[in-house]
Structure 1
Amino acid sequence: MRIGLITDNPGHPLLSAAAGLLRAAGHGVELLDPGSPDAAAGAPADVYLLKAHTPRGLELARLLERLGAPVVNSAAATALCQDRTLMAELAVRAGLPFAATRTVGTLAQWAAGTALVSPVVVKSRHSRRADLVVRVDDTAHLGELTGDWPDEPVVVQDFAPNSGWDHKLWAIGDRVFAALRRSELSPEGRGPTLPLPRIPEGWADLTRRVGEVYSLDVYGVDIVATADGSPLIVDVNAFPGIRDQPGAPEALADLTLRRVQDPSRK
């Protein structure tokens, strides 16, 4: 079989390890740089893994899909997870426990008529590397932030009191992996990713439900435990890193081959 990797980071540990397993099993693995003008040249591969969220990466994935090739994750599902407004709207329609999210235009537009009385989380509407994700506690802090990001389209979420740790749940098909990482909102910074000895009851099923709702095959779900211990989803990511998770490369290689055999399966 021929397998294509759409990525601008071919050395990524998960991709590299999965590619090694596929090559060892006798399959051809090809790297596609989404920035290359001839990335889609030649006959399509049997399946593609989309580990690029750039406009060119999505454009390449859409072209390959039009040619009939299965892409994991699809371009549409990947693009949806980059728009936090659409992500939240779909979660509400599906009944997922997702952080209440409101779209407010640019940061400067929202700040002009806002007097904060309780903490909020301000995020770039369009998810990308080095985007804006910050807790804002008062109007003075909001003013400072606006000076740096005045024209940034943002969404706003009420801050939900929690332990300060994100539960990172990742799925590859039906396999769920988990870890703990200090929230990026924490003043101490994120720090290392720590093992999560036990996934809270029901959270693995909730993660799989997210995959169904967003039509994702490989994805991450960031969950915080609220004051009563119930899960609150704060973000969904298409094809995250899933680093240092035993069994993840094997799960990805297996999923890739299953998608060739039956494009509708996970």
Structure 2
Amino acid sequence: MRIGLITPEPGHPLLAEAAALLAAEHVVEALDPTPPGEAPVPVPRRPADVYLLKSGTPHAVGLARELERRGAAVVNSAAATALCQDRTEMAGLALRAGLPFAATRTVGPLAAWASATPFTAPLVVKSRRNRKGDLVARADDAAALRELARAWPGEPVVVQEYAPNSGWDHKLWAIGDQVFAARRRSELSPGGRGPNVPLALEDLPSGWAGLVREVGAVFALDVYGVDVIDTGGGTPLIVDVNAFPGVRGQSGAPAALAALTLRRAPSRRP
């Protein structure tokens, strides 16, 4: 079987370790979706049986769509990956499905909105497009919001009312049905983001692992992350969903990804 990795970083620990496990019996090939200049990335004449889509850029998603059209299986699908890159669409789907997702407003370019809107409550301001290096910041007052607007004037953003919490994010990941967990100081806390601290599933509040699997079903994802905060008494609030996150430092994650890859591959070439 031939297995493809759609990523500019095939050395990423999760991918590299899963690929090493798969390479014992299968051919594993990396496909960099980064376009040379403005030219589109050429699609292989003979696609692999299954691809792991570890990139959410428009070029990567477009490449994955074409590979799906030619009969290859892609994990996660191009459609599911694209959905998670748009926080407006993400929040809309989650709320329609009844998931406990943070209420989210789409307000357009940050500077124009901030200058025209009275400040009423602490806010979390996020780039509408979910990507590496995007804007995720807390504004406790009008001065803080103006500072963000000066730094990111034209950035299309969404806003969420800040929900009081412990200051810890719960980073929950799923690879197929297998759930992994860690705690991390929130990037919105005064001290800033800290390292991930692995967390046993039995130490999660009741129902949280099931909630993660429900997110996967709603978003049609196989490999994904769910960022959850505890708003009191174990009450979860989902603040983000990520397609194919890094799942770093989680024992068993590479083996779970290798097993999922083989399960998602078609039994024979179309």
* TM-score, length basis structure 2: 0.94
Which residue type is aligned with residue 251 of structure 1? Answer: A
2:205 aligns to what? Answer: 200
Q: 1:257 aligns with which of 252, 255, 262?
A: 262
Residue 241 (structure 1) shift: 0.1
Q: Distance in 2 between matches of 1:203 and 1:167?
A: 10
4+ residue segments displaced more than 6 Å: none
Aligned pair 1:231/2:230, yes or no? no
TM-score, structure 1 as length reference: 0.95
Partner of 1:2: 2
Structure 2 partner of 1:35: 34
**Residue 11 of structure 1: aligned partner:** 11
> Is the contact between residue 127 and residue 134 of structure 2 (CA under 8 Å) also seen in structure 1?
yes
CA distance in 2, matches of 1:72, 1:44: 14
Shift of residue 261, structure 1, vs aligned partner = 4.4
Task: Give the Cα–Cα distance (whole angstroms) in 2 for the partners of residues 227 and 246 of structure 1.
Answer: 29
Q: Structure 1 residues 149, 67: CA separation in 2 closer, same or farther (over 3 Å shift)?
A: same
Alignment of 1:24-103 (within 5 A): 24=24, 26-35=25-34, 39-103=42-106
Residue type of the alignment partner of 1:5: L
Q: Name the counterpart of 2:253.
A: 248
- Deviation track 1:6-49 (CA, whole Å, cap 9, x = no partner) reads 0000100000000000012x111011011255642221111000
- Residues 35 and 57, structure 1, Cα contact 8 Å, conserved in 2: yes
Q: Is the 8 A contact 1:116 1:137 kept in 2?
A: no
Supply the RMSD in Å over aligned alpha carbons: 1.4
Residues 213-254 of structure 1: CA deviation (Å, up to 9, x unaligned): 000000000000003430000000000000110110110000
Between 198-207 and 83-92, the greater mean CA deviation after superposition: 198-207
Q: Offset at 1:200?
A: 1.7
**Contiguous gaps of at least 5 residues in structure 2:** none
- Give the % identical residues: 68
Give the letter for the 2:183 counterpart.
L
Listed as ranges, the gaps of 5+ residues in structure 1 are: none
Alignment check: 8 A CA contact 1:33 1:39 kept: no
Q: Distance in 2 between matches of 1:72 and 1:20?
A: 18
Structure 1 residues 23 and 39: alpha-carbon distance in aligned structure 2, compared to 1, 3 A threshold: farther
User: Aligned residues, how many?
Assistant: 262
Match of 1:170 in 2: 173
